[in-house]
Chains A and B, each alone.
Chain A
Amino acid sequence: KAGVTQTPRYLIKTRGQQVTLSCSPISGHRSVSWYQQTPGQGLQFLFEYFSETQRNKGNFPGRFSGRQFSNSRSEMNVSTLELGDSALYLCASSSDSAGNTIYFGEGSWLTVV
């Protein structure tokens, strides 16, 4: 069974640009959540989707948005990039409706210059 797939794996963007990250969950998983990981802040929850609906949202500015498609694939978008957005963005999927047991993808490494 394939794991969580994230694309792109690495990307470099300039301040002010926007970026879209993609995530394909484990087959059959309907819950997808996104986390940002930085050395200083650790893993911070961005948002979670279940059956195309945003179920939970973390404490991030409106520049961070996401969506989920009918096939459970998800995208997250960051607009007006700032240097502080440089991080590892992790997507995780879950089979249970509570979204508790999550499995991470390999992540997308974003560098903002």
Chain B
Amino acid sequence: QKEVEQNSGPLSVPEGAIASLNCTYSDRVSQSFFWYRQYSGKSPELIMSIYSNGDKEDGRFTAQLNKASQYVSLLIRDSQPSDSATYLCAASGNTPLVFGKGTRLSVIA
């Protein structure tokens, strides 16, 4: 059973701080990793993808991948109240995306 695990949270951070969201996956053949943001009552929105070990930066977001540890993380710098949402981690090998249940992030103004 391919699984993606995330801490459900809520993770509360003050405005301007760095939010760190973590994810582990069970399927070693996973090659593609994604972070989606989902606001309450809305559908998931793709924010980052990462395929190689190391860091990938896009604006205030940095995705980190460590395939040896089967670990993916998302850092959000200078967190804003508008970042408050549920963040879904997803992994894919040769099969459709498997999603974690998400981490709820709350940025406190």
Q: A100-B92, A101-B34, A101-B49 are in contact. Are A45 and B98 (CB under 8 A)?
A: yes
Chain B residues, CB < 8 A from A35: 99
Chain A residues, CB < 8 A from B36: 104
User: B38-46, B54-62, B65-73, B76-84: which one contacts chain A?
Assistant: B38-46
Measured in the bound complex, the distance between the Cα atoms of B92 and A48 in whole Å is 14
Chain B residues, CB < 8 A from A107: 43
Measured in the bound complex, the distance between the Cα atoms of B38 and A88 in whole Å is 13
Q: In the complex, which residues 49-101 of chain A have their Cβ closer than 8 Å to any Cβ of chain B? A: 56, 58, 88, 90, 98-101
- B18 contacts A by Cβ under 8 Å: no
Q: How large is the interface on B (under 10, 10 to 19, 20 to 34, 35 or more residues)?
A: 20 to 34
- From the candidates A90, A99, A100, name the one contacting B43 in the complex (CB within 8 A): A90
Q: In the complex, which residues 77-109 of chain B have their Cβ closer than 8 Å to any Cβ of chain A? A: 88, 92, 94-102
- From the candidates B88, B97, B100, B102, name the one contacting A100 in the complex (CB within 8 A): B97
- B32 contacts A by Cβ under 8 Å: yes
Chain A residues, CB < 8 A from B43: 88, 90, 104-107
Q: Give the number of residues in A that approach B within 8 Å (Cβ atoms).
A: 21
- Contact B88–A43 (Cβ < 8 Å): yes
- A22 contacts B by Cβ under 8 Å: no
- From the candidates A42, A100, A104, name the one contacting B101 in the complex (CB within 8 A): A42
Chain A residues, CB < 8 A from B92: 98, 100
Measured in the bound complex, the distance between the Cα atoms of B101 and A48 in whole Å is 20
Measured in the bound complex, the distance between the Cα atoms of B41 and A90 in whole Å is 12
Q: From A47, which residue of chain B is reached at the shortest CB distance?
A: B96
- From the candidates A98, A101, A106, name the one contacting B46 in the complex (CB within 8 A): A101
